Chain A
């Protein structure tokens, strides 16, 4: 979850647009940060979802400072912080640890991954997906991920789903989320058939906040998804399939690890094809 899903879409602002349309428009790079902040505030003020204000604040500050330092050092200009803010806030929500250091480490590693793990000028892992997956894998005795409900009520969940869908639709990435959800549900029934578990238990994770953040912010990150709409859908379907395989192996954090594996692979394949296409084009005078 690093980028507002709008950055890569270049649509000129329509001068006659209403204010709400401009706010919800793809040109508004602060839409995603605003949305995730709303989720955070609503979740916390109603149900106290955060481990603590300090830990979430620490993650956000660590992400922003790292972005500022590295952006300035390696691009020569002050970076826009919207992406780093989303990464920090995502880490602050998704990481669960009684210790403080995982919040800092996860935020710093997430942002650094954008600057270190680059191929042909593009970073290939979604930053927070990289940071959270690395920490869950390497420090399981200290770190877990948010895996429980926010409250007992249906309404907050419906609101988040509706608002998230509208925003994702406005920024033209709804197809990614929709494809993933359809695949997840279909594969949940398949898993239920294979394992004999109630289908409700297989669907259950999708109703939780971890997935809401995963499907609205992580898998839709334009910087780390392939470019064509069709292949975006294919890739996210593959993510769901790999996740199912991991789930059949009882891997608790299957969605993070699935995206961790499939996302960069898809990017590399796209780059390879892109290079081949460029190389095979006849040179024109």
Chain B
């Protein structure tokens, strides 16, 4: 039965409607975005429950990150090769009860900074006098990230510094200074690493550490023996740096055991985080890789098993640049957030929010990517992200920074980048084949995202409304209650940009509680300790972390928002030693300092 002209006209109308439907969707989305206009403090507080004000200068912090200058044969693409190194980690290095900030610099000869919290709203850089400033001397490489952990359980956090160069370990001498112990530990002579973390993988009460290589460790980026040092594929690269796992033997001795325990990868690691995802008491290890799939290693306390593909997180290759955990639905289970690249018209990878599937726990744990459903998918060229309850309403929100290379506003390198990214390994692998950037931007000047969790599976971006208006090339994000006020402030390290301190003002109606843990049988930093907070017939789990996000470490203290008029039931602490401790009716509005019972 053939249709006549009328049917064809109807078909043509439907066809036209379908073709233009993306424009209608776009129009609708842009109207929604218009509602994200900047608000004044009072309106933001009333509407969203918090407001972030950038106060770095007022706090005496005028740190500006500087990037490295690598081998001249990389000059034509230097801005993108030398595009990392800004990192931030939080530590109370002198145990005065006030969090301090350590930031890395990446120019040869430039100094890192340790901002000591002066308890009066200001900070003072004491890195020089503490002996951890001058760590970027020519010939030793430059800093990429730093994480803190008390490896000898003396009560003071020690510093693991990773570089594109010689990694360093500094022992904290009771808060009065640092002693370089790199040589005693036997760290490798050169690692081009961008991620590291502390964790006690075998539960022996001594902190171990993981280092993830990015460029191959045989590459000296200042003296290239060959320009064939780029990834051999945009999404399947396996020519990156090796991974290291240093097992703490006690007495300041470590043994490198990565191969022995089953961590053997040459993907391009950019971020890592560890948490007990299965309730086994052992921290599992998540590694987000650039140019490839993510890796998830289940840890049985002695060995690691790569279950990335089996659990679903290691299936579709993207450009992983962040790994952070958060119990975003208050179910006592962690979601994993991995940031990737999205650039309209060129590459839409979308970020991943890996949610544990219902009914698939333990060794059968499986994840599904619900970033789109939850509204946290598109974040530009995304880098560091952290979960934290920014408005103390009882649900974890998400702060994401982004932006890759901001140079010429008007000219983009994306066309050339996409051209080479599609090339065969013989082409993409060789830096000399990459077109010159010539001052062009690559996903530069991007606006940030502060996603507010409504508790039922939807996040709304309120960045502009709550005062996050910067467009620097963001890298690392750390959340910390800088002034012990019961709110999470945000510290952001920007590549070739200033260190930003966003001071948080939260509506006083919403209450909070914090836990400062100290292990005795467990590692003294209590890294890996889990606190499950029960209130208002719900519960949320958080874990003390030895490094998460991208090149970042949050405060070790755990912060819970409780919302209005909370009926607090109990807090259950599971220490890394396996011991469980219950605190009934802990008082809100306080920092609870808790020592592991012996």
**Residues of A in contact with B (beta carbons under 8 Å apart):** 47-48, 50-52, 70, 73-76, 96-99, 105, 108-109, 112-113, 115-116, 134-136, 138-144, 147-154, 157, 195-198, 200-205, 207-208, 210, 247, 250-252
In the complex, what residues of A have CB within 8 A of residue B436's CB?
196-197
Tell me, in angstroms, the Cα distance from A51 to B369 when the chains sit together: 12
Contact A116 B428 (CB under 8 A): no
In the complex, what residues of B have CB within 8 A of residue A251's CB?
415
Q: How far is the CB of B346 from chain A (nearest CB, A)?
A: 5
Q: Which of A97, A196, A204, A250 contacts B420 (CB 8 A)?
A: A204
Q: Which of B2, B14, B416, B432 contacts A75 (CB 8 A)?
A: B2
Tell me, in angstroms, the Cα distance from A202 to B423 when the chains sit together: 9
Which partner residue on chain A sits nearest B345 by CB separation? Answer: A140
Q: How far is the CB of A75 from chain B (nearest CB, A)?
A: 7
B433 at the interface (CB under 8 A from A): yes
Which partner residue on chain B sits nearest A191 by CB separation? Answer: B419
Task: Return the CB mask of B1-32 against A: 1 if under 8 Å, else 0.
Answer: 11100011001101100111111011001000
B186 at the interface (CB under 8 A from A): no
B297 at the interface (CB under 8 A from A): no
Q: How far is the CB of A196 from chain B (nearest CB, A)?
A: 7
Contact A208 B372 (CB under 8 A): no
Q: Which of B316, B317, B415, B433 contacts A200 (CB 8 A)?
A: B433
Which partner residue on chain B sits nearest A74 by CB separation? Answer: B3
In the complex, what residues of A have CB within 8 A of residue B377's CB?
98
Which partner residue on chain B sits nearest A95 by CB separation? Answer: B348
Tell me, in angstroms, the Cα distance from A113 to B424 when the chains sit together: 34
Q: How far is the CB of B121 from chain A (nearest CB, A)?
A: 41
Contact B427 A148 (CB under 8 A): no
Q: How far is the CB of A124 from chain B (nearest CB, A)?
A: 14
Contact B3 A148 (CB under 8 A): no
Q: Which of A144, A154, A196 contacts B424 (CB 8 A)?
A: A154
Q: Which of B7, B21, B23 contacts A105 (CB 8 A)?
A: B21
Q: How far is the CB of A12 from chain B (nearest CB, A)?
A: 29
B349 at the interface (CB under 8 A from A): yes
Contact B18 A149 (CB under 8 A): no
Stretch at the interface among B90-98, B165-173, B229-237, B474-482: B229-237
Contact B423 A200 (CB under 8 A): yes
In the complex, what residues of B have CB within 8 A of residue A198's CB?
432-435
B537 at the interface (CB under 8 A from A): no
Which partner residue on chain A sits nearest B435 by CB separation? Answer: A197
Which partner residue on chain A sits nearest B13 by CB separation? Answer: A116
Task: Return the CB mask of B386-425 against A: 1 if under 8 Å, else 0.
Answer: 0000000000000000000000000010111011111111
Q: Mind listing 14 A-B residue pairs with CB under 8 Å? A: A98-B377, A112-B11, A112-B15, A116-B12, A140-B345, A142-B25, A143-B22, A144-B347, A144-B348, A147-B347, A147-B422, A201-B433, A205-B419, A207-B423
B430 at the interface (CB under 8 A from A): yes
Contact B20 A48 (CB under 8 A): no
B492 at the interface (CB under 8 A from A): no
Contact B23 A149 (CB under 8 A): no
Contact B11 A149 (CB under 8 A): no
Q: A74-B2, A116-B12, A138-B23 are in contact. Are A252 and B350 (CB under 8 A)?
A: no
Q: How far is the CB of B312 from chain A (nearest CB, A)?
A: 10
In the complex, what residues of A have CB within 8 A of residue B22's CB?
105, 135, 138-139, 142-143
Tell me, in angstroms, the Cα distance from A76 to B2 when the chains sit together: 5
Q: How far is the CB of A139 from chain B (nearest CB, A)?
A: 4
Q: A98-B348, A116-B11 are in contact. Are A201 and B233 (CB under 8 A)?
A: no
Q: A151-B233, A152-B237, A201-B427 are in contact. Are A108 and B345 (CB under 8 A)?
A: no
Contact B346 A148 (CB under 8 A): no
Contact A109 B415 (CB under 8 A): no
A-contacting residues, B227-249, CB 8 Å:
232-238
Number of A-B residue pairs with CB-CB distance less than 8 Å in the complex they form: 164
In the complex, what residues of B have CB within 8 A of residue A210's CB?
422
In the complex, what residues of A have CB within 8 A of residue B316's CB?
48, 50-52
Tell me, in angstroms, the Cα distance from A6 to B175 when the chains sit together: 78
Q: Which of A47, A152, A200, A204 contacts B422 (CB 8 A)?
A: A204
Contact B18 A152 (CB under 8 A): no
Q: Which of B29, B415, B427 contacts A252 (CB 8 A)?
A: B415
B35 at the interface (CB under 8 A from A): no
Task: Return the CB mask of B28-64 against A: 1 if under 8 Å, else 0.
Answer: 0100000000000000000000000000000000000
Give 4 closest A-B pairs by Cβ, nearest first.
A204-B423, A140-B345, A98-B350, A139-B22
Tell me, in angstroms, the Cα distance from A62 to B26 when the chains sit together: 23
Contact B11 A70 (CB under 8 A): yes
Which partner residue on chain A sits nearest B30 by CB separation? Answer: A141
In the complex, what residues of B have CB within 8 A of residue A141's CB?
26, 29, 344-345, 348, 378
Task: Return the CB mask of B145-164 against A: 1 if under 8 Å, else 0.
Answer: 00000000000000000000
In the complex, what residues of A have CB within 8 A of residue B2's CB?
74-76
Which partner residue on chain A sits nearest B233 by CB separation? Answer: A152
Tell me, in angstroms, the Cα distance from A149 to B292 when the chains sit together: 12
Residue among A135, A148, A157 having the largest count of chain B Cβ atoms under 10 Å: A148
Residue among A76, A108, A205 having the largest count of chain B Cβ atoms under 10 Å: A205
**Contacts A205-B422, A207-B422 given; 20 further ones with Cβ under 8 A?**
A74-B8, A76-B2, A96-B348, A97-B348, A98-B349, A98-B378, A99-B372, A113-B15, A115-B8, A138-B23, A141-B378, A142-B348, A143-B348, A144-B346, A144-B347, A147-B418, A197-B416, A201-B419, A201-B420, A205-B419
B371 at the interface (CB under 8 A from A): yes
Tell me, in angstroms, the Cα distance from A98 to B346 when the chains sit together: 13
Contact A200 B348 (CB under 8 A): no
In the complex, what residues of A have CB within 8 A of residue B315's CB?
48
Residue among B1, B23, B427 having the largest count of chain A Cβ atoms under 10 Å: B427
In the complex, what residues of B have CB within 8 A of residue A97's CB?
348
Residue among A75, A76, A96, A207 having the largest count of chain B Cβ atoms under 10 Å: A207
Contact A109 B15 (CB under 8 A): yes
In the complex, what residues of A have CB within 8 A of residue B237's CB?
152
Q: How far is the CB of A97 from chain B (nearest CB, A)?
A: 6
Tell me, in angstroms, the Cα distance from A153 to B414 when the chains sit together: 25
Which partner residue on chain B sits nearest A211 by CB separation? Answer: B422
In the complex, what residues of B have CB within 8 A of residue A73's CB?
1, 3, 7
Which partner residue on chain A sits nearest B429 by CB separation? Answer: A152
Q: How far is the CB of B172 from chain A (nearest CB, A)?
A: 43
